[in-house]
Amino acid sequence: MTLSELQKAGKARLQRAEIEDAAFEADCLLESATGYSRSQCLARGAEAVSERVTTRFFSQIARRIQGEPLQYILGKWSFYGRDFFVGEGVLIPRPETEELVETAISVLRENPHSTVFDLCAGSGCIGLTVAKEVPECTVYLFEKYDAAFSYLQKNAEALNAPNAHLIKADIFTDTPPDGARADLLLSNPPYIPKRELAELQKEVLREPSTALDGGFDGLDFYRAIQNRWLPFVNAGGTLLFECGDGQGSEIATLFESAKAAKVLFDFQNIDRFVQIIV
């Protein structure tokens, strides 16, 4: 079989399983199975493939058909132009979160020597990107779970950000280390109301429920941040959250003592972020 025949066969299997973006996913898995880039795969389309590559590719296709997220099979995913290692136990970085990072960077442009907290850091896509984009700032990334924390460590190492500090912490019971205070607090916490968890797409259900479950109304983490972490944000500082569809204004009212709170919309025009100035 040639490389291009292999791609077609994989795509056909994905299509039969009603996977929406079958051609794109088959391309990604072919890159991963061969170790070639997209353009190398195209240029070498007429070359024969080895038994080893064929077996690897079809086993990846089978995992995908079973409902495993593409990103877990690939083992990495791009966020804000950098690859992040991902796999079971860590939330996959989402494109809308890049907009939160964009806003964070524009806040930091005013004051680059800031201290930044990233609560519920997961893969570290938010905090590590900010640390790379604004090397003058100091970023503390907090994550509770072992599996996610080990991806965080791997990503921090691969990205080499000396201004990023990783801390194993539970935001419901812990506070910042050694009196650290933030000028900018970032968080994309779990925000799905418990009763909606079962209705999620089957791929999303493969992601850790601890990264999704925000309690009864989805707002448990925002309340904990208001309670425990707001006192560690400097006057004039900013909090920037990602949230779920329809949660923005309720989160803003949790912070009624703040100087200002506004809800920001994402590229799909969903109320996706809340920015609070204290």
Residue 226 Cβ vs ligand GLN, minimum distance, rounded to whole Å: 17
- In angstroms, how far is CA 94 from the centroid of its own chain? 5
Distance CA 12, CA 246 (A): 38
State the nearest-atom distance from the C-beta of 75 to ligand GLN, in Å: 16
Provide the minimum distance between the beta carbon of 194 and ligand GLN in the complex, in angstroms, as a whole number: 15
- According to DSSP H, which parts of 114-266 are helical? 125-133, 146-159, 220-224, 248-254
What values do phi and psi take at 201, rounded to 5? -50, 150
Which residues, in sequence order, are CB contacts of 196 under 8 Å at separation 6+? 218
What is the C-alpha to C-alpha distance for residues 143 and 146, in angstroms, rounded to an integer? 8
CA distance 275 to 278: 10
CB-nearer residue toward ligand GLN: 7 or 275:
275
- Say if residues 149 and 170 touch (Cβ distance below 8 Å): no
Residues that bind ligand GLN (CB under 6 A): 91, 93, 97, 120-123, 125-126, 188-190, 211
- Least separation, in Å, of the C-beta of 257 and ligand GLN? 25
Cα 251 to Cα 276: distance, rounded to the nearest angstrom: 10
Q: Among residues 89 and 237, whose Cβ is nearest to ligand GLN?
A: 89
Contacts of 18 (CB under 8 A, 6+ apart): none
> Smallest distance, Å, CB 126 to ligand GLN?
5
Q: Check if the beta carbon of residue 213 is closer than 8 Å to that of residue 245.
A: no
Closer residue to ligand GLN, CB minimum distance, 22 or 90: 90
Shortest Cβ distance from residue 260 to ligand GLN (Å)?
Answer: 24
Residue nearest to ligand GLN (CB): 122
Contact criterion met (CB below 8 Å) for 3 and 34 = yes
Rank residues 114 and 188 by Cβ distance to ligand GLN and give the closer one: 188
CB closer to ligand GLN out of 29 and 126? 126
* Residue whose CB is less far from ligand GLN, 189 or 248: 189
